């Protein structure tokens, strides 16, 4: 969690808003993968990040929380991969 988070535990509202997702991994027979989520990014910064190359780093720093997920898999694996999608989380009751 970073300086923009105020609390002890993440709540649903902390995930609401824009999100940057970086996913990368690879291996041969045994692979590791990592996913990094920057969640709770203000919408105005998300929109600005598409128009100016400076804003993506500002947007990621404005995230309410940064979540790291690590995974390991085994099987017929041979390769590497990197993705960087942009998302928006909305929760409705």
Residue 85 above 80 pLDDT? no
Q: Which two tokens stand for residue 32?
A: 């590791």
Confidence (pTM): 0.71
Q: Which two tokens stand for residue 4?
A: 């923009």
Contact 45, 62 (CB under 8 A): yes
Contact 34, 25 (CB under 8 A): yes
Going from the C-alpha of 47 to that of each of 11, 37, 59, 81, the distances in angstroms are: 24, 18, 9, 26
- The residue behind tokens 């969690």 is 1
Mean pLDDT rounded to a whole number for the chain: 80
């Amino acid at each position: 969690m970073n300086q923009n988070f105020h609390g002890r535990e993440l709540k649903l509202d902390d995930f609401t808003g824009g999100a940057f997702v970086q996913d990368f991994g690879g291996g041969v027979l045994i692979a590791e993968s990592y996913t990094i989520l920057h969640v709770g990014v203000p919408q105005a910064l998300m929109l600005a990040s598409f128009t100016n190359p400076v804003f993506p780093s500002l947007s990621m720093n404005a995230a309410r929380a940064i979540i790291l997920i690590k995974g390991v898999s085994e099987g017929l694996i041979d390769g590497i991969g990197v993705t960087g999608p942009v998302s928006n989380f909305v929760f409705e009751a």
